[in-house]
Structure 1
């Protein structure tokens, strides 16, 4: 292995509209669930920083795109704000059109390919009031929104994704209190997941029926599930975790069908998903062109509490591997080999579909402790994290996995839901008081790798 990546390999970063843009209540944008939640309960948010300003990309995108060019990006993934483009669901906001067209045009002019995502957790508040993803009407609204986005920006964008991490709003909103509606209800979770998938395939159908040029996919956060032991009960726990958190979306979007085990789970939980046979045909006929994979950590599990457990505890429980490397700031395990195992799984079980690493990164709290005398963050930990993951990714590619790019999370330190700016992920540091930007040491390392299209022998 010569450390070189294939010609045309994509190097860049991922971001999202609600976490980067700011201008949360300006320029015609409608209210999202996050705008509402911060207004209603700011104490829920770390240091009470809301989604109004975030990283101010709306006003500083020209400077930021120049910085992307300076650190070797040839691609960048962001999202359109549904509530900005269609504030009332029907009327197109001209200020949003101007803004996004300016961004996509400027990216193109600087040699940075746009990968544009339609939904990144930012449900319009007006639809939340109607039930959000539990309401079939939201599916039709999303399909209309997707159609408008394709028509409005299709001359500038030829690579689209429908959803970022669709399992997360299901898990965090219906099995946790980290997203709205913040309930624990497996039946409601299953309904929300199904209607999200239906919205995804209907958007793909609209894209293809309209004859748009380019490709369309989805971005899934894949968490390889490892059992505590080889005992059958632990291996069964890993099977259930993989089914619910990976295969529940991965199988239908790539293979066009749900896993057979999903029917078993729904029967065990007495959940009746309101599907129609015509919709199952739609899922079968509208598989993705490519897959984006977000990878941060594995999922380690042990046998659940059969008969006495509540919710998913009946099927599996978390397990802390004694040998795990842990990011102490985030509490997540760092397991670089997981990316290699994902690459082989895609190769062997998912028709070796073209895919790319859509997010990979490490969040660190208190990065000011790593500032040198010149004010530059010496984030060697981030360099090590990226390099170690890239070496395992490259091994998977050498063994035949069809990966075409690597994006870090993220470009500039950004706002992150209830955690806000607690953990910093950016290649560029953001000063919250002044909104000024400063490249970290990792930005220079990333440029070296991206421009040379190869990993260094050493740093």
Structure 2
């Protein structure tokens, strides 16, 4: 691999609040939607929750020291909304504010920039009871939340992210019910998809009004969908999934319009979102960057079923896959980034990329050759993007730590650092040591 990475390229790691912080009901934090979702233990693969998780709330200095040892230049994290605003009062919880200020100070002392996500799925229960993102009101409440955080933390944050993966929130939270809030209502899903984008746009407006020197963007999860066969029905099934999970968000952000949905889909769903005058202009206003989360390619097959999409994800026989069952396809990263760059024409950051494998701690080490190979091949794809004149400015591994992996609980390990969930002990895996050495060899001074 040659070294085409520019001088200021960000080499990072990523996490999210509920997945690592723990201290779920400490120091004034109230319940979020994932706390409520996990109360039904049947919803989580191992019946667990994020009450303790990686205990990052108490061990953040240890985690910052780990990042410094790895040589990363940037850390992507997210705020816990119910920790900062445990009620609907506009007054913040000072203990929550202090935690994030101390975290940011430790990161800056270590020479690590901060990419902070305003919403990575940690909605307070008090707001969920008012309808959550299925309600238009939440977009305005989110804008107020963003304004307060801009005031509280200002330029301590180098890169602000408004919303993480709106397509996943809408689909898994409101269509399949696999994620919090656990709804299965297509009308609510379409409403949430619109309100999430509206919330993003309103927050960007507030950011510009605040006059901060930092940058702001949004993070999209993009999947490369391919048809299971050349048959028209499989190709149309692929088109429908791509339309809703990818193109819906790209068109809104880049062109200020939603793409037309197939007539049959609309007849079944009866749920086109209620778009008010001026909404699309708010959504499509310019951002400073776009984050791309990429994990897999997905093969799509038409299905005779009552599903709104009338399609299923098919197996990819013979192809490599992670423990999530996700096909390993570094070329897919190139494809989706080219598409985003062509559509939005903004600098890109690969804000999440990583793999879950069944790691074992043996003799004080984790020899995770598959993950190391995964990272190496995807970073090579990023370098190819630079050769293709795509403006990529950073790469963040998901994740720094093994953590609470949503509905999978602790049964899936994405971290480049092994976490003993009984003791909290951290052990860098071989992939972390490889990443450390790679950064050292490719970071330009």
Name the TM tier (shorter chain).
Answer: over 0.9
Residue 335 of structure 1 pairs with residue 329 of structure 2: yes
Q: CA deviation at 1:355?
A: 0.5
Per the alignment, do residues 12 and 158 of structure 1 end up closer, same or farther by CA in structure 2, a change over 3 Å counting? closer
Counterpart of 1:446?
Answer: 435
Counterpart of 1:412?
Answer: 401
> 1:347·1:400 contact (CA, 8 Å) conserved in 2?
no
Counterpart of 1:363?
Answer: 356
Per the alignment, do residues 272 and 45 of structure 1 end up closer, same or farther by CA in structure 2, a change over 3 Å counting? closer
Matched residues in 2 for 1:151 and 1:239: separation? 43
Matched residues in 2 for 1:232 and 1:419: separation? 35
> 1:89·1:141 contact (CA, 8 Å) conserved in 2?
no
Matched residues in 2 for 1:78 and 1:318: separation? 30
Matched residues in 1 for 2:192 and 2:262: separation? 15
Q: CA deviation at 1:337?
A: 1.1
Aligned-CA RMSD value: 2.0
Counterpart of 1:311?
Answer: 307
Alignment partner of 1:406: what SS? strand
Counterpart of 1:185?
Answer: 185
Q: CA deviation at 1:304?
A: 4.8
Per the alignment, do residues 447 and 203 of structure 1 end up closer, same or farther by CA in structure 2, a change over 3 Å counting? same
> 2:416·2:429 contact (CA, 8 Å) conserved in 1?
yes
Matched residues in 1 for 2:269 and 2:409: separation? 35
Counterpart of 1:457?
Answer: none
Structure 1: gaps of 5 or more residues: 455-459
Per the alignment, do residues 266 and 217 of structure 1 end up closer, same or farther by CA in structure 2, a change over 3 Å counting? farther
Matched residues in 2 for 1:61 and 1:33: separation? 23
Alignment partner of 1:340: what SS? helix
List aligned pairs for 1:18-33, cutoff 5 A.
Answer: 18-33=18-33
Count of aligned pairs: 443
Q: CA deviation at 1:420?
A: 1.8
Matched residues in 2 for 1:222 and 1:272: separation? 22
List aligned pairs for 1:2-81, cutoff 5 A.
Answer: 2-38=2-38, 40-81=39-80
List aligned pairs for 1:272-283, cutoff 5 A.
Answer: 272-283=272-283
> 2:167·2:245 contact (CA, 8 Å) conserved in 1?
yes
Per the alignment, do residues 256 and 158 of structure 1 end up closer, same or farther by CA in structure 2, a change over 3 Å counting? farther
Q: CA deviation at 1:128?
A: 1.4
> 1:255·1:287 contact (CA, 8 Å) conserved in 2?
no
Matched residues in 2 for 1:43 and 1:346: separation? 37
> 1:343·1:397 contact (CA, 8 Å) conserved in 2?
no
Matched residues in 1 for 2:191 and 2:439: separation? 42
Q: CA deviation at 1:48?
A: 3.1
Deviations 1:72-129 (CA, angstroms, capped at 9, x unpaired): 1100100011111111132211111111011111111111110000111111111111
Counterpart of 2:298?
Answer: 299
Q: CA deviation at 1:69?
A: 0.6
Residue 322 of structure 1 pairs with residue 317 of structure 2: yes
Q: CA deviation at 1:266?
A: 4.1
List aligned pairs for 1:369-380, cutoff 5 A.
Answer: 371-373=361-363, 375-380=364-369
List aligned pairs for 1:12-411, cutoff 5 A.
Answer: 12-38=12-38, 40-90=39-89, 91-261=91-261, 266=266, 269-284=269-284, 286-305=285-304, 309-314=305-310, 316-327=311-322, 329-351=323-345, 353-365=346-358, 367-368=359-360, 371-373=361-363, 375-411=364-400
Alignment partner of 1:332: what SS? coil
Structure 2: gaps of 5 or more residues: none
Deviations 1:260-305 (CA, angstroms, capped at 9, x unpaired): 4489954674324221112222223x23221111111112113354
> 2:226·2:300 contact (CA, 8 Å) conserved in 1?
yes
Matched residues in 2 for 1:45 and 1:69: separation? 33
Alignment partner of 1:167: what SS? helix
Alignment partner of 1:48: what SS? coil
> 2:418·2:429 contact (CA, 8 Å) conserved in 1?
yes
TM-score (norm 2): 0.94
Matched residues in 1 for 2:433 and 2:64: separation? 16
